Amino acid sequence: MESKIELKENRNGLLWPYYQGEKAWSPSSLIEILKLIEYEDKQIPEIVLQRAAKNGKLFHQIIQEFIQTGEDLAPGTEISPKIQKKLQETIYFLEKNKKLLNNHCFLGSERLHYAFYKGVLVATYIDLEFADCVVELKTNNIKMHESPLTLLSFQIQLLIQHLCTQKEVYLLWSTGNGVIFHRFQPAPSLFRILDELIDLVKKKDTYTILEKRAIVEKILIDYVPHRLIN
């Protein structure tokens, strides 16, 4: 099947895989439906989304550069105090725990991977890729640790990264109050939830908002959250 996959450039200038004219599903497209519970029908202001995206991108770029070259934040870089704090704690964590990643051969950052899962093409870009593992960078607030919805979203994203790379997956989460370095374990329950999310996204146009919310609520009821620990 892979020979029929086409790579097309998206609006951001990044390549993305398509199969039989259908765009590969990303982790964000599969967990977007979960936001029905978190945000209900509220729309987040565009300026807030843009600011968060800009800060997240800058954080990723600086950490990726640090992993590759060992160089810290360039003088004069404009950055918010919150992101500055998260950068400092992340770099300190990496310097203090060099053995965590130094034993692995670094291959690069923002590398595209894709795979078929039960006939569905899924794809993801990897923040940090090593010869035998990958690392996902997060900068969410520590309060997110108390949200089953956020934990589930994180784990579905990590599961897709595992499916696409067939490597061990680690979460490096800078919270502003310390770094969480978590080794992901693909439990059978997560595969069942992924199946439910895929089915829900496939049929999303046939459900009303209330029906979608009811399905998501059932998924969350059946989900047993495990706190992300080092």
Confidence band (pLDDT; 50, 70, 90) for 157? very high
**Average model confidence (pLDDT) across the chain:** 84
Determine which of 61-65, 68-72, 177-181 has the lowest per-residue pLDDT on average.
Answer: 68-72
Domain boundaries, the chain: 46-109+127-222
Confidence band (pLDDT; 50, 70, 90) for 76? low
Token readout for 134 is 């990958």
Q: From CA 113, how far away is CA 60, in angstroms rounded?
A: 18
SS3 136: strand
Determine which of 104-113, 124-133, 140-149, 168-177 has the lowest per-residue pLDDT on average.
Answer: 140-149
Q: From CA 100, how far away is CA 96, in angstroms rounded?
A: 9
As a whole number, mean pLDDT of residues 73-82 equals 72
Token readout for 9 is 């450039």
pLDDT score for 45: 60
Choose among 186, 172, 34: nearest CA to 117: 186
pLDDT score for 228: 64
Token readout for 84 is 């500055």
